């Protein structure tokens, strides 16, 4: 988690953004973002998406560790890069499974959703599209005001700019493969 905070601070500084500007981009408070950069809080993927867009980098650049081959990435089950194995404030555990490919077009995670508890419920939104493919357990998936119960093999593909969240349905954790397809960054026009 400390590495994530250090990386976010470095990228923010390289982008020439103040902590206040970055917090506004991420739609969080300056105090919360400061805690993230100090390794005292773990941001959601939606916050990382918004920061990356504001800094002009791909979300994967925040987690990146380029592999030996720019065209192939193999991440073994025990080599997944966890954002935080203890989970975010909401109990989610994100494990990156594609971080070794340097020029990837998508961010791919295994997401573990904890059993429902009394933690606050938060919706997420970010630019781009998202695929949520259930691997284990049951999940209540909330999207645009509707609730859907999904299980292993079920897949939701959606516009991620609309409020969404998932939670385990029941007393056991649930796991999903999450693929985030960021909105393409505009390319500078060639000088002519």
What's the CATH number where 22 sits? 1.10.260.40
Q: List the 164-168 sheet strands across, edge first.
A: 146-150, 139-143, 164-168
Predicted confidence at residue 64, as pLDDT, reads 61
Residues 45 and 96 in one domain: no
Going by pLDDT thresholds of 50, 70 and 90, the confidence category of residue 66 is very low
Residue 64 · residue 98 · CB < 8 Å: no
Domain boundary among the residues 11, 33, 63 is at 63
Token representation of residue 16: 């020439």
Residue that is last in its domain, among 63, 87, 112: 63
125 in the same domain as 169: yes
88 with 159, same domain: the answer is: yes
- Please tell me whether residues 158 and 91 are part of one structural domain: yes
Does residue 88 sit in the same domain as residue 162? yes
DSSP label at 66? -
Asked if residue 57 lies in contact with residue 10, where contact means CB atoms within 8 angstroms, the answer is: no
- Indicate the average pLDDT of the chain: 82
The alpha carbon of residue 34 and the mean position of all alpha carbons in its chain are separated, in whole angstroms, by: 18
DSSP code of 56?
A: T
Specify whether 136 is located in the same domain as 106: yes
pTM > 0.85: yes or no: no
- pLDDT surpassing 90 at residue 138: yes
Please compute the mean of the pLDDT values over residues 6-28 and round it to a whole number.
89
For 9, the domain range is 2-63
Is 42 a member of any domain?
A: yes
Same domain, 48 and 18: yes
The answer to whether residues 45 and 103 belong to one domain is no
**107 assigned to some structural domain:** yes
Q: State yes or no: pLDDT of 65 exceeds 70.
A: no
Number of folded domains in the chain? 2
CATH of the domain at 172: 2.60.120.10
Which residue would you say has higher pLDDT here, 151 or 6? 151
Q: Are residues 52 and 109 in the same domain?
A: no
Using 50, 70 and 90 to split pLDDT, how confident is the model at 86?
Answer: low
User: Residues with Cβ < 8 Å from 172, sequence gap 6 or more?
Assistant: 115, 137
Reported as a single tens digit per residue, the pLDDT across 143-171 is 999 999 999 999 999 999 999 999 999 88
* Residue 188 pLDDT level (bands cut at 50, 70, 90): low
């Amino acid at each position: 988690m400390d590495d994530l905070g250090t990386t976010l601070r470095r990228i923010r500084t390289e982008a020439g953004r103040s902590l206040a500007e970055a917090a506004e981009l991420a739609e969080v408070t300056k105090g919360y973002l400061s805690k993230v950069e100090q390794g005292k809080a773990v941001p959601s993927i939606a916050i990382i998406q918004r920061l990356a867009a504001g800094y002009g980098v791909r979300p994967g650049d925040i987690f990146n560790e380029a592999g030996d081959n720019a065209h192939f990435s193999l991440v073994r089950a025990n080599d997944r890069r966890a954002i935080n194995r203890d989970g975010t404030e909401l109990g989610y555990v994100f494990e990156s499974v594609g971080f070794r490919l340097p020029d990837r077009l998508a961010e791919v995670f295994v997401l573990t959703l904890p059993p429902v508890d009394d933690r606050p419920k938060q919706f997420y939104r970010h630019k781009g599209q998202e695929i949520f493919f259930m691997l284990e357990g049951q999940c209540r998936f909330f999207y645009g005001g509707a609730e859907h119960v999904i299980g292993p093999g079920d897949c939701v593909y959606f516009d991620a700019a609309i409020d969404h969240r998932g939670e385990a349905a029941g007393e056991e954790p649930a796991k999903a493969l999450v693929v985030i397809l960021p909105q393409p960054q505009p390319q500078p026009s060639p000088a002519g």
